[in-house]
């Protein structure tokens, strides 16, 4: 019989959106910078425009980010984290830290592998 963790983080529905690596990375970058252009975000994450758009829609539907078109010398899409996105991501990181603090330090050293 194997060892299984059901949901050790006890994630909310909105926090579960971070279980996708691209969505976690998007919100992490936005958490740090608050606002990033679509093209810059695409380049930073190495995603195709279609793939990035898919993940942005999921995050926007969850109320964690918003996108807006800005007219300058060329059309530009800006991606921003919402205040709710900041709150939810912060709660998620606190839960992760609490879970990870229980890992013995000796298991994290490369020489132990």
Write the CA distances from 19 to 13, 28, 64, 98, 109, integer angstroms: 11, 12, 14, 17, 25
Tokens 């019989």 map to which residue?
A: 1
CA separation for the pair 109, 3 (Å, rounded): 23
From start to end of the chain, where are the E strands? 35-37, 65-71, 75-81
Per-residue pLDDT of 43-62, as tens digits, reads 999 999 999 999 999 999 99
Mean pLDDT value of segment 70-86: 88
β-pairing, 35-37 vs 65-71, is unpaired
* Domain residue extents for the chain: 16-99
55, burial (CB in 10 Å: exposed 0-12, middle 13-18, buried 19+): buried
Per-residue pLDDT of 2-22, as tens digits, reads 545 565 667 788 888 888 899
Please state whether the predicted TM-score (pTM) of the whole model is above 0.85.
no
| Domain 16-99: CATH architecture, name and number where available | Orthogonal Bundle (1.10)
């Amino acid at each position: 019989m194997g060892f299984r963790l059901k949901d050790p983080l006890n994630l909310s529905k909105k926090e579960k959106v971070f279980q996708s690596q691209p969505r976690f990375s998007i919100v992490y970058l936005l958490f740090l910078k608050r606002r990033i252009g679509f093209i810059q975000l695409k380049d930073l994450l190495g995603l195709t425009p279609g793939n990035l758009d898919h993940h942005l829609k999921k995050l926007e539907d969850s109320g964690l980010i918003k996108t807006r078109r800005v007219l300058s010398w060329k059309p530009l899409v800006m991606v921003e984290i919402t205040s709710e996105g900041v709150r939810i991501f912060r709660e998620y990181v606190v839960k992760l830290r609490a879970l990870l603090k229980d890992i013995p330090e000796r298991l994290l050293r490369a020489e132990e592998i």
